[in-house]
Amino acid sequence: MMNSLPVEDPAIRVSGLTVRRGGRPVLHGLDLEVPRGSITGLLGPSGCGKTTLLRSVVGVQRIGGGEVRVLGAPAGSAGLRDRVGYVTQAPSVYSDLTVAENLRYFAAVLGAPAGDLDRVIAQVGLEGHRDDLADRLSGGQRARVSLAAALLGAPELLILDEPTVGLDPVLRQDLWRLFRDLADQGATLLVSSHVMDEATRCDRLLLMREGRLLAHDTPAELLRSTGAADIDAAFLSLVQAAPVEISR
Amino acid sequence: MNLRRTLATARRVLGQLRHDPRTIAMLLVVPCVLLTLLKYMFDGQPGAFDRIGPALLGIFPLLVMFLVTSVAMLRERTTGTLERLLTMPLGRLDLLLGYGLAFGAVALVQAALASALALGPLGVDVAGPTWLIFAVAVGDGLLGMALGLLVSAFAATEFQAVQFLPAVLLPQLLLCGLFAPRDSMATALRWASDVLPLSYAVDAMNRLTGTPGVGSAVLVDLAVIAGATLLALGLGAATLRRRTA
């Protein structure tokens, strides 16, 4: 529906991406594409390289080799900085400022329109906490301030590193509804999680383990091809089916 | 470099300070209390405070701004807000100048209070113009800020950042001519004191104490302080990498 331009570059195109950290390889030549206007889930156990991949897409990761192109431009290039929103795993907001002060600053840096502040505060459901110091908020609320900051200026691509960790089920459902709305409006979302049950909410899945991609498919196709009952089981069966791939 | 983003950053840094009244009070009150303390410590030696007082007017802003800035910038690095800002269209200079403007304003108020106290009630007698004393004090505050920004890149924790005060500033304090005239130091130490910026701050204040008018030597001292500030800011900017390992 939204992404009706067939010749458009994909939102993200990664080819042969390798990253080494502290002398050890973290990503081993990844290839993947993320289509526009979709939600792609990046799933895998803790420490498998999800954050490193996301940082490479945002352009803050020093990479060893390969290429990462985002919205048709090299990742991290200056023209992308107000088109890509990034939410780090740990909420990155100023704890000694209020919610509104935090967002007002980030909006000024992004050059976001004036009405954006109220919009993003409403989107993450923090209307009652505008003037609370971030320090006084719960962990989940602080995470939502961090998410709200990434929504400022309505970026075309949102990179979200475990945005639902520590949230109660109702809030998680609300956030996933928000993600779906954003995708329906044409935004592309790449969302990492180590909770496999969030997989069913995504259009496409990237399953990662030890710095390699195990699978890159729709949730339904993954379940079909592995014959598994849920994504957890599909992940296990892929790990068992690919020992050669893993030790390559 | 973008004026709107620089000003937004300065406003944000001042906003953070505003929520921390205790820090503001310490920034403004501590130098004044220490000056008063010294005045009465040297009660029996009337000439001593006249010599040390002006030098301290140059040293306090540097010490305080160094500490505040290094911790503030380290926090920015460790809480992930720096990484967030570097993914946004914020230039590194916008960030550094924003900090410079905000803490520069604080340095201005601090220097004004401390100079007014020293030259007024505490009766320090200086021959040079008051505004120049003030200018040197503000320049020192900005130098302390720039050094603080720079060392924050080499500290991984707030403990380490605080340790940089004795590591970076104490040697300068010992060699700046406050405790012993620089000419009387061992040759190697005198050379060292010649390249350390704090020496010029103290030299400038000493010159202003003794000679009336705007001497060219004082202007050279001020230029050295400004140069050292810009150098530290430049090096600090180089440590702000958008891509990290």
Q: What is the pLDDT of residues A15-67, one digit of tens each?
A: 999 999 888 899 999 999 999 999 999 998 888 999 999 999 999 999 999 99
| Mean pLDDT, residues B186-211 taken together | 86
Pairing of strands A212-217, A204-209: antiparallel
A7 pLDDT band (50/70/90 cuts)?
A: low
Q: Would you call B87 and A81 a contact, using CB atoms and an 8 Å cutoff? A: yes
For residue A82, which residues of chain B lie inside 8 Å, CB to CB? 88-89
Inter-residue contact A206 to A32 (CB < 8 Å) = yes
**Cα-only R_g, chain B:** 18
- Closest by CA to B63, choosing from B198, B155, B182, B194, is B198
Cα–Cα distance between A219 and A229 in angstroms, integer? 11
Does residue B1 surpass a pLDDT of 80?
no
- Closest by CA to A156, choosing from A73, A49, A100, A95, is A73
B215 pLDDT band (50/70/90 cuts)?
A: confident
pLDDT tens per residue across span A120-134: 999 999 999 999 999
Report the SS3 class of residue A137. coil
Cα–Cα distance between B190 and B174 in angstroms, integer? 11
Q: Which residue has the tokens 């001497």?
A: B215
Residue of B nearest to A89 (CA): B80
Residue type, A101: E
Q: Would you call A81 and B89 a contact, using CB atoms and an 8 Å cutoff? A: yes
For residue B242, which residues of chain A lie inside 8 Å, CB to CB? 59-60, 76
Structure confidence at residue A199 (pLDDT): 86
The CA dihedral of A191, A196, A198, A200, to the nearest 10 degrees, is 110
Inter-residue contact A152 to A112 (CB < 8 Å) = yes
Structure confidence at residue A242 (pLDDT): 67
pLDDT tens per residue across span A154-177: 999 999 999 888 788 888 889 999
Q: What is the DSSP letter of A4?
A: -
pLDDT tens per residue across span A68-102: 999 999 998 999 999 999 999 889 999 999 999 99
Torsions phi, psi of A85, nearest 5? -105, 140
Structure confidence at residue A243 (pLDDT): 56
Q: Would you call A97 and B15 a contact, using CB atoms and an 8 Å cutoff? A: yes
What ipTM is given for this predicted complex? Answer: 0.86
Q: Would you call B80 and A92 a contact, using CB atoms and an 8 Å cutoff? A: yes
In a mutagenesis test of the A interface, which of B88, B90, B95 is the best target, namely the one with the most A β-carbons within 10 Å?
A: B88
Cα–Cα distance between B123 and B118 in angstroms, integer? 6
User: Cα A75 vs. chain centroid, distance in angstroms?
Assistant: 15
Cα–Cα distance between A63 and A76 in angstroms, integer? 12
Q: Would you call A94 and B81 a contact, using CB atoms and an 8 Å cutoff? A: yes
Q: Would you call A60 and B19 a contact, using CB atoms and an 8 Å cutoff? A: no
Q: How far apart are the first and last CA of chain A?
A: 40
- Helices and strands (DSSP H and E) totals, chain B: 11, 0
Does residue B46 surpass a pLDDT of 80?
no
Please check whether residue B19 touches A, CB under 8 A. Answer: yes
Q: Would you call B81 and A149 a contact, using CB atoms and an 8 Å cutoff? A: no
Put simply, the chain B residues between 36 and 95 with a CB less than 8 A from any chain A CB are 79-81, 83-90
Residue of B nearest to A58 (CA): B87
Q: Which residues of A touch B (CB under 8 A)?
A: 21-22, 58-62, 76, 78, 81-82, 84, 86, 88, 90-97, 101, 105-106, 108-111, 133, 149
In a mutagenesis test of the A interface, which of B4, B5, B81, B90 is the best target, namely the one with the most A β-carbons within 10 Å?
A: B81
Structure confidence at residue B93 (pLDDT): 87
User: Cα A140 vs. chain centroid, distance in angstroms?
Assistant: 17
Interhelix angle B197-210/B216-238, nearest 10 degrees: 160
Cα–Cα distance between B63 and B66 in angstroms, integer? 5
- Closest by CA to A189, choosing from A88, A111, A86, A52, is A86
Cα separation values, B52 from A78, B125, B126, B199, B218, Å: 51, 11, 12, 14, 17
Instruction: Report the alpha-carbon angle B73-B95-A11, nearest 5.
Output: 105
User: Cα B38 vs. chain centroid, distance in angstroms?
Assistant: 20
Does residue A3 surpass a pLDDT of 70?
no
Q: Would you call B81 and A60 a contact, using CB atoms and an 8 Å cutoff? A: no
Structure confidence at residue B231 (pLDDT): 93
Q: Would you call A82 and B89 a contact, using CB atoms and an 8 Å cutoff? A: yes
Q: Would you call A90 and B79 a contact, using CB atoms and an 8 Å cutoff? A: yes
| Mean pLDDT, residues B31-55 taken together | 86
What distance in Å separates residue B17's CA from the closest CA in chain A? 8
A118 pLDDT band (50/70/90 cuts)?
A: very high
B13 pLDDT band (50/70/90 cuts)?
A: very high
Residue type, B58: G
Residue type, B56: L
B176 pLDDT band (50/70/90 cuts)?
A: confident
Cα–Cα distance between A27 and A47 in angstroms, integer? 11
> Half-sphere exposure (CA, 13 Å, Cβ side) for B187?
0
Please check whether residue B240 touches A, CB under 8 A. Answer: no
| Mean pLDDT, residues B6-28 taken together | 93
Cα–Cα distance between A110 and A105 in angstroms, integer? 9
User: pTM here?
Assistant: 0.87
Share of chain B above pLDDT 70, in %: 100
pLDDT tens per residue across span B76-90: 988 989 999 999 999
| Mean residue pLDDT across chain B | 88
Q: Would you call A96 and B19 a contact, using CB atoms and an 8 Å cutoff? A: yes
pLDDT tens per residue across span B84-112: 999 999 988 899 889 989 988 988 898 88
Cα separation values, A191 from A10, A52, A109, A114, A164, Å: 16, 13, 24, 27, 10
Residues 6 or more apart whose CB falls under 8 angstroms from that of A219 comprise A199, A200, A202, A204, A205, A231
What DSSP line would sit under A193-212, residue for residue?
Answer: ES-GGGGGG-SEEEEEETTE
Cα separation values, B171 from A67, B174, B239, Å: 48, 5, 24
Closest Cβ–Cβ partner in A59, A61, A88 for B84: A88
Does residue A6 surpass a pLDDT of 70?
no
In a mutagenesis test of the B interface, which of A92, A152, A157 is the best target, namely the one with the most B β-carbons within 10 Å?
A: A92
Closest Cβ–Cβ partner in A86, A91, A94 for B16: A94
Cα–Cα distance between B207 and B197 in angstroms, integer? 16
Structure confidence at residue A245 (pLDDT): 45
Does residue A246 surpass a pLDDT of 50?
no
Structure confidence at residue A166 (pLDDT): 76
- Closest by CA to A182, choosing from A191, A169, A170, A193, is A191
